[in-house]
Amino acid sequence: MPARPKRATVHDVAEAAGVSSQTVSRVLNERGYVSEDARRRVVEAVERLGYAPNVLGRSLRSTRSPMVGLAVSDIGNPFYARLHRAIEKPLRDAGLSVLLLNCDDDPELEAAQLDLLASYRPAGLVLSPATGTRFSARQVGTFENVVLVSRTIAGLDVPTVVTNETEAFGQAAEELFAAGHRRVAAVLGPEGVSTTRLREAGFRQAVSAGREPVVRYTEGTSAAGRAAMRELLDTGGVTAVLGFNVPVTEGILVAVREAGLHVPEDVSVVGFTDAGWMSAVYPAVTAVSQPVEEMGRLAGELIVAMTRGGRPRETPHLVVPGALVRRESVGPPREGTR
């Protein structure tokens, strides 16, 4: 087997360019003064030796690479697959590519992913923040153009595209209370996430005298939704449940089936964010339909405009309303459980 070619180092680039290693570092990191002639020689040496990815070599000439990072909290959630596709089209039309980064709702992984993205010197960042925001808030400021989508970061004044979380989740809760349920549970996502906070607010606003709200926080996964629902069923008393997102709703339905119960005869269920399978299963699942494609399109158009210098005087905060899609998973509680 032939030996793998030796990878070029900073010292190799410096020798080829006829400059010091410190000068190469200043060019690569855009720190400190470097003459145009020295910069040109470093760029040429980088490209000739293959020291860095081509995208970095190109960005050394044009300041920023023709790439936008899309960092999402959980690529396993179908919401983000749809969002990715919707964001990608306006970027592709503008000659920009998308680098997708999955953060697994882990703030430390998110920090590492954003550091990686920064090394490519992207034209912008579209971010749906992970559970913790202490890393995000600090790092996001290092990117020239940023749009937050679906989730927000408190105190960070950048463009956002969200849905009407509080109103829509409250409407879903009202659907269950209007059916006669008194003890309704909301199986939510991670505490500290903006969407959890806003959806919980909508749930609690829908509660009035004689109604008993129950809240459970989870990691926002199918397994977490299943575990939370099993605990609620073991405890007893809950006759209706709201799912935080598609994976959580899936887990809730699995737990109900495993317990030998039926929807909606034994438990009514409403999901948040519609999914194709929700209309294909029996009974079809009532859910809040988020306009994911429109949210993605708007986020993509915002970041494209920003990369072209189209910064608005006031930071845009766009709210795209969701709508409740009524199907077959909501019914009145059984006699004796009202």
| pLDDT tens for each residue of 138-164 | 677 778 899 999 998 887 889 999 999
Instruction: Look at residue 108 in the predicted model and tell me its pLDDT.
Output: 82
With a cut of 60, say whether residue 85 has pLDDT above it: yes
Residues listed for the chain: 338
CA–CA distance from 335 to each of 90, 174, 180, 331, 332 (Å)? 53, 20, 11, 12, 9
* Long-range Cβ contact pairs of 266-269 (< 8 A, separation 24 or more): 266/239, 266/334, 267/233, 267/238, 267/239, 267/240, 267/241, 268/176, 268/179, 268/181, 268/239, 268/240, 268/241, 268/329, 268/330, 268/331, 268/333, 269/240, 269/241, 269/242, 269/243, 269/329, 269/330
**CB-based contact 91:67 (threshold 8 Å):** no
Averaged confidence pLDDT in the chain? 88
**CB-based contact 149:83 (threshold 8 Å):** yes
Cα–chain center distance at 148:
9
Residue entry with tokens 């919707």: 86
Among 224, 205, 179, which residue's Cα sits nearest to residue 326? 179
Of 210-214, 232-236, 308-312, where does the model show the most confidence? 232-236
Residue entry with tokens 């860095």: 52
Angle at CA of residue 140, ends 312 and 40, nearest 5°: 90
Instruction: Look at residue 53 in the predicted model and tell me its pLDDT.
Output: 42
Identify the residue with better confidence: 20 or 33: 20
Average pLDDT of the residues in 23-38: 78
Instruction: Report phi then psi at 162, rounded to 5.
Output: -135, 175
Tell me which DSSP letter residue 4 carries: P
Q: Using CB atoms within 10 Å of the CB of residue 177, give its burial: 0 to 12 exposed, 13 to 18 middle, 19+ buried.
A: middle
- Ordered by where they begin, the domains of the chain are 10-53 (1.10.260.40), 65-163+292-321 (3.40.50.2300), 165-290 (3.40.50.2300)
| pTM for the predicted model, two decimal places | 0.78
**CB-based contact 73:80 (threshold 8 Å):** yes
Average pLDDT of the residues in 290-318: 91
Per-residue pLDDT tens over the stretch 233-249:
999 989 999 999 999 99
Q: Binning pLDDT at 50, 70 and 90, where does residue 1 land?
A: very low
β-strand partners of 240: 184, 268
Per-residue pLDDT tens over the stretch 252-289:
999 999 999 999 999 999 999 999 999 999 999 999 99
Identify the residue with better confidence: 33 or 175: 175
Q: Binning pLDDT at 50, 70 and 90, where does residue 54 land?
A: very low
Instruction: Look at residue 138 in the predicted model and tell me its pLDDT.
Output: 63
N-to-C CA span, the chain: 74
With a cut of 70, say whether residue 31 has pLDDT above it: no
Per-residue pLDDT tens over the stretch 103-141:
988 888 888 888 888 888 899 999 998 865 555 566 777
CB atoms within 10 A of CB 185: 27
**CB-based contact 271:278 (threshold 8 Å):** yes
| 248-283: b (≥16 Cβ within 10 Å) or e | bbbbbbbbbeeeeeebbebbbbbbbbbbeebeeeee
- Contacts of 217 by beta carbon, 8 Å cutoff, 6+ apart: 188, 189, 190, 191, 196
